[in-house]
Amino acid sequence: MKSSLFISAIFLCSTLSGCLTGDLRSADDALDPCEDTIPARDSDGVLHILTYDIFQGYTNEMIEQFVNQSGIEVEIIRTDDAGGILDQMMLTKSAPQADLMIGLDNTYLPTALKNCLLIEHSAQAENFTQSSMEFYEGPLAIPFDEGDVCLNYDEDALSNANMSVPTSLWNLTEPQWNGKMAFPSPITSSPGRAFLAATHDYFNHQPGNESGNASNWWKAIAENNAIFTSGWTESYTTYYTGGYGQYTEGYIGGAYITVSYCHSPGVEAYFAENYTHSTSLTLPRASFHQVEYAGVINGAAEVDAAQQFISYLISQDVNSNMPIYNSMYSVLNGSEIPENNGYRYHSDITPRSSYITSEMIELHMESWLEEWTNSTK
């Protein structure tokens, strides 16, 4: 059967995801299916998938395999990051343009649930890791990958500049780090938002005068000329000196440390034949366990096709390859990241992730974002 694949892109100018507070349901209600039923858009026989631009899992090969197996045509609508996914869903809530969402993480999902943006899926969450199900295990979204967000730094750059590896986040406020840090915005970026949450847990558990100073720390690094970007791609590929960005068009460099994943050095090594000069900074409580979800959009026209794609995405054959498809951990028990090319060797394990629950995100994220904005402007 001839496959059909259409690719389109959406890059939003507005950033609503940091200030979506109207008409929200309680956390308990958000665990249950919404009573708000949005009329389905007119069907065109095409499954429209809303995702972010760096989701490498959506290779043509992977999509065409689904198309060939199911006979369903697919269109990919891409935004710049998870914040863009939520923005697009909110902006088109009364007239959805997509059927399936893939890419909201556990810092953005609560807002989607409270705004009734998703409907029940029919997939069975069998053999899933405990860590992927701890944050949310209701019927409106299902995990498809996971990983720990943390700082990554360029070992060679620090060595050449005779700089010490930070032993505290406060070290980044010192003069030697002036202008040498890049952070994705938590307003629009899921890794940025995850790291913001981690900083609050980190500083809430620091002794003495360092306790509870997350906002003060963000203000201090802003005054130390930290670079703030709209998303992970810009921070990591445009400014970070330790990653593959130096080989891409538009590379600027200058940042010796940035926000990525604790296993990102392993990804670098895997695709560079076991070579990397990037490593992760695994300070206790300075990382965040991120889970990314898929869900059927409220008002979808192609509900059955969306359900089929979710089942395909979490199938053993596809999901066990998530470390290659999307540079993230699979959510299936028994699935490991590859050993070859140094992938597993260079993938660090954080000694202790931050402890952030869905209730904490619901209660505090809006104020954290407001404080971050005031601290970094």
Q: Say yes or no to pLDDT of 8 above 50.
A: no
Residues 139 and 155 in one domain: no
Q: What percent of the chain has pLDDT over 70?
A: 88
pLDDT of res. 38: 84
Name the residue with higher pLDDT: 76 or 55.
Answer: 76
pLDDT of res. 258: 99
| Cα maximum dimension of the chain | 66
Residues 299 and 211 in one domain: no
In which residue are the tokens 């995850």 written? Answer: 194
pLDDT of res. 33: 54
What pLDDT digit, counting tens, does each position of 175-216 carry? 999 999 999 999 999 999 999 999 999 999 877 655 568 999
Residues 267 and 322 in one domain: no
Phi, psi of 322 (to 5 degrees): -60, -35
Instruction: Count up the domains in the chain and report the number.
Output: 2
How much is the average pLDDT of 161-183?
A: 98
Q: Say yes or no to pLDDT of 248 above 80.
A: yes
| CA distance linking residue 166 with residue 170, whole number of Å | 8
Are the C-beta atoms of residues 369 and 187 closer than 8 Å to each other?
yes
**Which domain does 297 fall in, by range?**
5-146+291-337
The average confidence (pLDDT) of the chain is: 89
Q: How would you label 243-270 residue by residue, b for 16+ Cβ within 10 Å and e otherwise?
A: bbbeeeeeeeeebbbbbbbbbbbbbbbb
pLDDT of res. 53: 77
pLDDT of res. 58: 59
Residues 236 and 134 in one domain: no
| CA distance linking residue 178 with residue 291, whole number of Å | 32
Q: Say yes or no to pLDDT of 19 above 70.
A: no
Residues 193 and 122 in one domain: no
Residues in the chain: 377
Q: Say yes or no to pLDDT of 252 above 70.
A: yes
Residue 39: which pLDDT band, with cuts at 50, 70 and 90?
confident
Residue 312: which pLDDT band, with cuts at 50, 70 and 90?
very high
pLDDT of res. 209: 54
Lowest mean pLDDT among 8-12, 256-260, 316-320: 8-12
Residues 247 and 318 in one domain: no
Assign residue 193 the CATH number of its domain: 3.40.190.10
pLDDT of res. 80: 82
How much is the average pLDDT of 46-55?
A: 86
What pLDDT digit, counting tens, does each position of 91-108 carry? 999 999 999 999 999 999
How much is the average pLDDT of 325-347?
A: 95
Residues 205 and 118 in one domain: no
Residues 47 and 81 in one domain: yes
- Degrees to nearest 5, angle at CA 68 with 67 and 71: 65
Phi, psi of 353 (to 5 degrees): -75, 165
pTM of the model: 0.89
Residues 316 and 351 in one domain: no
Nearest-Å Rg of the Cα atoms of the chain is 20
CA separation, residue 110 to residues 81, 119, 313 (Å): 17, 14, 22
H-type alpha helices, the chain = 27-30, 60-70, 82-91, 109-114, 130-133, 155-160, 190-204, 214-223, 232-233, 264-271, 303-313, 316-319, 322-325, 358-376
Q: Say yes or no to pLDDT of 31 above 90.
A: no
Q: Say yes or no to pLDDT of 1 above 80.
A: no
Beta bridge partners of 104: 293
Residues 14 and 156 in one domain: no
Residues 184 and 113 in one domain: no
Q: What is the dihedral of CA 150, 156, 161, 167, to 10 degrees?
A: 30
pLDDT of res. 206: 78
Residue 54: which pLDDT band, with cuts at 50, 70 and 90?
low
Residues 39 and 73 in one domain: yes
